[in-house]
Chains A and B, each alone.
Chain A
């Protein structure tokens, strides 16, 4: 009997033993900086300042027009990139499935190339497309249509569109890959059943493919939200860390870096912390959706 007891007690410790490295690193390199950020947001600006200033950074942000602009731009940018990328990737995955099986891996790889490229390289390639006068977009699409050249990265009406185009260019192929993998995992039986019920291709797509792909689509959306709100992304590279003309392309993450560049660490941290409620809402949403799909 004592042997058996020992065994269960050891088994009780096993999960913690396995989790120990993860928990350790989670605390060291995520939780501590996170708490540090919250603390910093309550302290005066400047390097090595520790004077407690309460919520004054947050109060200042509430009246800061640039902060509001950045928040609005980030929402528009993230939402627009999801709206553009998800349907496009679904369509491309569908096309890839319809082409010759032998070409499929090569074509998928080609579409995915931008996602494998460092953002700074992408920004350089993209400047060629968006370049004021001689850029490809102007030369190939805008001018042949008899329209006036668009100065994509300077004209405040077009900066955000340009940024969305570059995210779409970067991520669509990657998301297509995930969706394709998901589609290939859907058991054939489902389609056969749908065909027996004489469902049209379109109805098969909406009633079999899309519901089955729900976990993939959730992943894609979460990935794009994280990339849009908090990564040092292509948008930053493309505008060189500025917000562009009239701040039309100012995103929250860009604003954080503009502030920390001038050692306004308190304000910079306050901006980051102010995004937390939104992200927590998303955490809750994800867990909720996960439970419903499971």
Chain B
């Protein structure tokens, strides 16, 4: 194809993508601008007052000062729970995935069926019995009670099974000839698949960051809340939180996952592409 034809195709596709990009970005822009608005400005029709009259940081300061919710504590809780979940999930799933990919063992088929069932029957569906069980374990109103159940994931195990199937056989043979024990082989293979480890960690972090239901049941005291819970409280009409503060909190809730994704997205995509070609 000529260069000119290629350019033309590029421009046309960009034009066709335009409406979709607008549909996604306009609400987010509105959210970010919303944190500078007063309540009266906020409720005016969008076309009239899309941009705030002046950029006043008052709402942001109020939020960070913890006037409405203990924001820093909540943010730290979310970070702690999500990071812990992501690390745990990567460790557990990588080990299990390696076992599935490399060994034949008794009960393998049954365990794999259970793993797929774990994807399709997520723990949220059985939140109430899970909650009462977490209580019995003595983890009620504790961040660990949210983190530990979130560590087990079917998606992760299936993903890593696929990842380790791709490591060339020769690599394992060399490791074995060098006399490495099986567990050592596993540990030496890990650095080879680090993009996959990072990618799955990121996805799991995002899912954990969004988790609403189980924290809502388990966490009761105010200082132990995670972000989605604090947001729900800010949005609650009876709390009379200024709209600007709500928008500031919403923006801060998006930033960590957006930054994380922006940083890892290239690695993640290439690791997916490699995997999907089988």
Chain B 12-52 interface mask (CB, 8 Å, partner A; 1/0):
11101100110111111011000000000000011100000
Interface centre among B123, B125, B274 (most CB of A within 10 A): B125
Taking the complex as formed, is A42 at the interface, i.e. its CB lies under 8 A from any CB of chain B? no
Q: Are B129 and A232 in contact (CB under 8 A)?
A: no
- Interface residues of chain A: helix, strand, loop or mixed (majority): helix
Does more than half of chain B's interface fall in helix, strand or loop, or is it mixed? Answer: helix
Q: Which residue of A lies closest to B210 (CB)?
A: A118
Instruction: Check A178 against B157 for contact (C-beta < 8 Å).
Output: no
CA distance A113 to B17 in the complex (A): 15
Report the minimum CB–CB distance from A204 to chain B (whole Å): 14
B142 at the interface (CB under 8 A from A): no
Is A76 located at the chain interface by the 8 A CB criterion? no
Indicate which residue in A99, A134, A173, A184 contacts B273 across the interface (CB closer than 8 Å).
A184
Which A residues are in CB contact (< 8 Å) with B231? 118, 120-121
Please, which residue of chain B has its CB at the minimum distance from the CB of A294? B278
A196 within 8 A of B: no
Question: A4 — which chain B residues lie within 8 A by C-beta?
Answer: none
Question: Is B201 part of the binding interface, using a Cβ–Cβ cutoff of 8 Å?
Answer: no
Asked if A292 is at the interface (CB within 8 A of a chain B CB), the reply is: no
Closest B residue to A115 by beta carbon equals: B206
- Within 8 Å of chain A (Cβ to Cβ): is B178? no
Report A-chain residues with C-beta under 8 Å of the C-beta of B182.
Answer: 10-11, 14
If A173-B24, A184-B273, A215-B276 touch, does A19 touch B96 (CB 8 Å cutoff)? yes
Q: Is A268 in contact with B13, judged by CB distance below 8 angstroms?
A: no
Residue of A36, A98, A110, A225 touching B21 (CB-CB under 8 A): A110
Q: How far is the CA of A272 from the CA of B47 in the complex (A)?
A: 44
Taking A125-B30, A182-B273 as contacts, is the C-beta distance between A114 and B24 under 8 angstroms? Answer: yes
**Quick check: is A92 within 8 A (CB to CB) of the other chain?**
yes
Q: Which size class do B's interface residues fall under?
A: 35 or more
| Interface size in chain A (residues, C-beta < 8 A) | 92
A110 surroundings in chain B (CB, below 8 A): 21, 24-25
Determine whether A202 belongs to the interface, using a CB cutoff of 8 Å to chain B: no
Where the two chains meet, the residues of A that have a C-beta atom closer than 8 Å to any C-beta of B are 10-12, 14-19, 21-23, 25-26, 28-30, 32-34, 36-37, 39-40, 92, 95-96, 98-100, 103, 105, 107-121, 124-126, 128-129, 134, 136, 139, 169, 172-173, 177-178, 180-182, 184-187, 213, 215-216, 222, 225-226, 229-232, 253, 256, 260, 265, 268-269, 272, 275-276, 279-280, 282-283, 286-287
**23 A-B contacts, Cβ less than 8 Å apart?**
A14-B99, A29-B152, A33-B133, A39-B129, A40-B128, A96-B13, A98-B12, A108-B265, A113-B254, A119-B212, A119-B228, A120-B228, A121-B250, A125-B28, A186-B277, A187-B277, A225-B120, A230-B124, A232-B127, A253-B124, A256-B125, A275-B125, A287-B116
Interface residues of B (CB under 8 A from A): 9-10, 12-14, 16-17, 20-21, 23-28, 30-31, 45-47, 91-93, 95-96, 98-99, 102-103, 105, 111, 113-114, 116-130, 132-133, 148-149, 151-152, 157, 181-183, 186, 206, 209-210, 212-213, 227-228, 231-232, 235, 246, 250, 253-254, 257-258, 261-262, 265-266, 268-270, 272-278
